[in-house]
Amino acid sequence: MRVVSWNVNGLRACAGKGFLDILENMAAEVLCLQEVRAFPDQLPAVVREPVGWHTAFAPAERPGYSGVAIYARQAPRHVDIGLGVPEFDTEGRFILARFDTVQVASVYFPKGSGKERDNSRVPYKLAFYDAVFARIEKARAESPVLVLGDYNTAHHAIDLARPKTNARSSGFLPEERAVLDHWEAAGWVDTFRAHHPDAPDHYTWWRQWGNARAQNVGWRIDYVFACPQAAARVRDAFIWPEITGSDHCPVGVDLD
């Protein structure tokens, strides 16, 4: 079973850059999307529900902003949209699908930088992390859970090209990184780093200027975290930087 996550930076734009071909060629059973940035009825029918796929969306209330989705070959047994917290759910950041043997969450964690790049949204971001953690801890008591998405945090220095110059930037602040320390202390596994512990220069997001992607000056901020039961089933974890169409690239896992 292959489960993939991709921040598409606008699904309508990504659809014009080959999304449907990529979807069919990635050989995934489940694809989690972030930053859909569209209401479902704004998407072409062939994108909203491609032949052979079941889809579920959690859009933001604000047009053209945020939004997550799950595409699956098999219809989920149940889908939960949102965390039950209005200040988070209005932004369309969380969706959880239950399948026969695993639960899959697609999550778009907030940036903490704020409009003025003053890190003013860090408290909101940390509160969102706490709400997601409470929800997935509850879920893992029921069946194995994978939490896929754009976490908007590089956990360790190996996870970004320029850690020293970003030490005071949201996305690499100590309090943001400490959250992922807490998740791991509770048993959650960063599947890519578990399978590639010392591999440098593996990033999932690049700035759209300064030739950053061509020079591989990026950040690894897209993750698949797994509870212990799910992590035990992960055969491989991967990043696909060769797939374009967004400023992020897909990440995923293959499960037994």
CATH for 189: 3.60.10.10
Beta bridge partners of 239: 251
The string over 219-235, giving b where at least 16 C-beta atoms fall within 10 Å of a residue's C-beta and e elsewhere, is bbbbbbbbbeebbebbe
Q: Is 190 a catalytic residue?
A: no
C-alpha pair distances (Å), 192 with each of 72, 112, 120, 121, 199: 22, 24, 30, 27, 10
Mean pLDDT of the residues in the chain? 97
Q: Is the pTM of this model over 0.95?
A: yes
Range of 208's domain?
2-255
Task: Give the pLDDT score at 117.
Answer: 86
Give per-residue pLDDT as tens, 114-134: 988 899 999 999 999 999 999
Which segments of the chain have a pLDDT < 50? none
Task: Give the pLDDT score at 74.
Answer: 97
Give per-residue pLDDT as tens, 50-79: 999 999 999 999 999 999 999 999 999 999
Task: Give the pLDDT score at 116.
Answer: 87
How many domains does the chain divide into? 1
Write down the catalytic residue from 150, 159, 190, 222.
150
Distance CA(184)–CA(178), nearest Å, equals 10
Pairing state between β 145-150 and 103-108: parallel
